[in-house]
């Protein structure tokens, strides 16, 4: 059964850092591009970052560029999101999501995790 | 950036009725690169439609997508109890990819 499971969320003070993880199982993780998407309370979905299947390319949304970094460890079947200099407006549920086709970036998502809640508050 | 506007914000219907959800783009979505997702609290979001009208694997055939250019529609022909959720459209034809603000489909 294909699955993505996020972890690492919690309550963090403004200005601090947090790293989210996304564990993949049931498919060949190393052949799929991966994304992070978030949803702030009462808001819609916001795309954050993409990483190619082999880690060769990565892009971040302007809203998080320079503060957040996407990465992956294909030997551990795990995707990461390093979040630095966190702000109150980063409070959201963070989802990892998979590209629909191996070795391609189509920019939509056919498999999602259940999300991990990050709350930035003093 | 392409802005997607979904309407209505909330749709109240009864099981067995037909639901029509709209997604309008501020500029043309290239190659009909539009997807629809279903979100339920505490669950993983689910891809329903991609390429404006192609059903994703496992999407029941009561769900259909249509449209091109700037106007897109998700239709649920006969609502089942499990269809009551929030639906989002997403365009992936232009960078940055963007989502609509969502339509909440609630039981009347």
Whether cis (ω within 30° of 0) applies to the bond prior to A97 is: no
* CA separation for the pair B106, B87 (Å, rounded): 11
**What integer pLDDT is reported at residue A104 of this predicted model?**
83
* CA separation for the pair A61, B95 (Å, rounded): 10
User: Which residue in the set B42, B47, B57 is minimally distant from A114, CB to CB?
Assistant: B42
Q: Percentage of residues in chain B with pLDDT exceeding 70?
A: 100
**What integer pLDDT is reported at residue A101 of this predicted model?**
87
Number of A–B residue contacts, CB under 8 Å: 56
Within an 8 Å CB–CB cutoff, is residue B101 touching chain A? yes
What is the nearest CA distance from B99 to chain A, expressed in angstroms?
6
Q: List, for residues B34-79, the tens digit of each pLDDT value.
A: 999 999 999 999 999 999 999 999 999 999 999 999 999 999 999 9
CA nearest B43 in A: which residue? Answer: A114
**What integer pLDDT is reported at residue A82 of this predicted model?**
98
Inter-chain contact A61–B96, Cβ cutoff 8 Å? Answer: yes
- Is the pLDDT at B85 greater than 90, yes or no? yes
- Which residues fall within 8 angstroms of residue A103, CB to CB, at 6 or more apart? A31, A32, A53
Inter-chain contact A62–B96, Cβ cutoff 8 Å? Answer: yes
* CA separation for the pair B9, B103 (Å, rounded): 5
B82-97 average pLDDT score: 95
As separate numbers, helices (DSSP H) first and strands (DSSP E) second, chain A gives 0, 11
Average confidence (pLDDT) per 10 residues, chain A, 122 residues: 97 98 97 97 95 95 97 98 97 97 88 98 94
User: Do residues B105 and B42 make contact, with C-beta atoms less than 8 angstroms apart?
Assistant: no
* CA separation for the pair B25, B6 (Å, rounded): 9
Q: Which residues of B touch A100 (CB under 8 A)?
A: 47, 50, 56
Confidence category of residue B31, pLDDT binned at 50, 70, 90: confident
* CA separation for the pair B49, B56 (Å, rounded): 5
Within an 8 Å CB–CB cutoff, is residue B30 touching chain A? no
CA nearest A113 in B: which residue? Answer: B44
- Which residues fall within 8 angstroms of residue A63, CB to CB, at 6 or more apart? A46, A48
Inter-chain contact B50–A113, Cβ cutoff 8 Å? Answer: no
User: Which residue in the set A44, A97, A110 is minimally distant from B88, CB to CB?
Assistant: A44
Inter-chain contact A108–B45, Cβ cutoff 8 Å? Answer: no
**What integer pLDDT is reported at residue A103 of this predicted model?**
81
Q: Percentage of residues in chain B with pLDDT exceeding 90?
A: 93
* CA separation for the pair A92, A114 (Å, rounded): 13
């Amino acid at each position: 059964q294909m699955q993505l499971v996020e972890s690492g969320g919690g309550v963090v003070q403004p200005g601090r850092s947090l790293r989210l993880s996304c564990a993949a199982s049931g498919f060949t993780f190393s052949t799929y591009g991966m994304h992070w998407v978030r949803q702030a309370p009462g808001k819609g979905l916001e795309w954050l970052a993409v990483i190619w299947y082999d880690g060769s390319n990565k892009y971040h949304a302007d809203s998080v560029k320079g503060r957040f970094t996407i990465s992956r460890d294909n030997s551990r079947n795990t995707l990461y999101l390093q979040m630095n200099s966190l702000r109150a407006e980063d409070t959201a549920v963070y989802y990892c999501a998979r590209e629909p086709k191996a070795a391609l970036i189509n920019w939509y998502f056919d498999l999602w995790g259940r999300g991990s809640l990050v709350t930035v508050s003093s | 950036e392409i802005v997607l506007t979904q309407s209505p914000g909330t749709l109240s219907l009864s099981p067995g009725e037909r639901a029509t959800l709209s997604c309008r783009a501020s500029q043309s979505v290239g190659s009909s690169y539009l997807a629809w997702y279903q979100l339920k609290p505490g669950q993983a979001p689910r891809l329903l439609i991609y390429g404006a009208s192609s059903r994703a694997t496992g999407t029941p055939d009561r769900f259909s997508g249509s449209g091109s250019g700037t106007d897109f529609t998700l239709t649920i022909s006969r609502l089942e109890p499990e269809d009551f959720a929030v639906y989002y459209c997403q365009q992936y034809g232009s960078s940055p990819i963007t989502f609509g603000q969502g339509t909440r489909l609630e039981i009347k």
